[in-house]
Amino acid sequence: MTARTPSRTLGESVRDIPEATVARLPVYLRALNTLAEAGTRTCSSEELATAAGVNSAKLRKDLSYLGSYGTRGVGYDVDYLRYQIAREIGVTQDWPVVIVGIGNLGHALANYSGFRSRGFRVVALLDADHSRHGEVVAGVDVRAFDDLEEIVSTHGVAIGVIAAPAAAAQDVADRMVACGITSILNFAPSVISVPDGVDVRKVDLSIELQILAYHEQRKAQLS
């Protein structure tokens, strides 16, 4: 669902992990965290797979892309594997993030505790609406959209979140890219285009519901 594959230029010494696997690693990480909190020291691929809601063969193959971190006949060491996955997807570091658009969704995102606990730190909330500047939401300063460049360079921001209306999304994205942001999470219901080398992921709430509606309708037709 990522807009483009990262334009690998040269070198290519880095092991590359299939996109589908990358998307599941965070799920495994969460399952491992839950197991660790419950005091589990070791787990089999079967247990972890169940906790993550996937097939155990798939889990093992996924993990095998990272290396051989399990022990045959025994299973995986929860803490060790947890660390390895976290390191691989980069959540051991600190990722400064800016959110643009302080509507209901922007609010919800700023307040979302799941970000902070995974190494994402919201450094600013930007909005075009001047009347809200200076406000503090969830401990984060609301700033002018024009401050984007300064904020990005000051904090070394690489990831931007678009929670603005669809009409503004492309503009916001262009500005982000111009400031040096190279990864964008887009919640606006519109297609945005970006140059090569910039990753875009899109989350569309109403599309998810429409997909459910399609299947729901089919279920109804069968009877």
Partner DNA sequence: AAGAGTTTGTGAACGGGGGCACAAAACGAG
Partner DNA sequence: CTCGTTTTGTGCCCCCGTTCACAAACTCTT
Tokens of 65: 């892309």
Of 33, 40, 56, 170, the one binding DNA (CB under 7 A) is 56
Quote the strand ranges of the chain, DSSP E: 42-43, 70-71, 75-77, 95-100, 120-127, 136-137, 140-144, 159-162, 183-186, 199-202
- Part in contact with DNA (CB under 7 A); list of ranges 57-65, 86-94, 104-112, 134-142: 57-65
Residue 14, interface with a copy of itself (CB under 8 A)? yes
Residue with tokens 């990753």: 199
Residue 11, interface with a copy of itself (CB under 8 A)? yes
- d(Cα 60, Cα 47) in Å, to the nearest integer? 12
Q: Is the Cβ of residue 71 or residue 117 nearer to DNA in the bound state?
A: 71
Of 4, 61, 87, 116, the one binding DNA (CB under 7 A) is 61
* Per-residue mark of binding to a copy of itself, 183-202 (x: CB under 8 A): xxx---xxx-x---x-x-x-
Residue 88, interface with a copy of itself (CB under 8 A)? yes
Residue 6, interface with DNA (CB under 7 A)? no
Q: Quick one: what does residue 97 bind among DNA, a copy of itself, none, with the CB cut-off 5 to 8 Å set by partner type?
A: a copy of itself
- d(Cα 30, Cα 51) in Å, to the nearest integer? 9
Task: Give ∠ CA 137-141-145 in degrees, rounded to 5.
Answer: 110
Q: Quick one: what does residue 73 bind among DNA, a copy of itself, none, with the CB cut-off 5 to 8 Å set by partner type?
A: DNA
Q: Is the Cβ of residue 72 or residue 215 nearer to a copy of itself in the bound state?
A: 215
User: Is the separation of the CB atoms in 172 and 164 below 8 Å?
Assistant: yes
- d(Cα 163, Cα 143) in Å, to the nearest integer? 15
- Part in contact with DNA (CB under 7 A); list of ranges 17-25, 26-34, 116-124, 168-176: 17-25
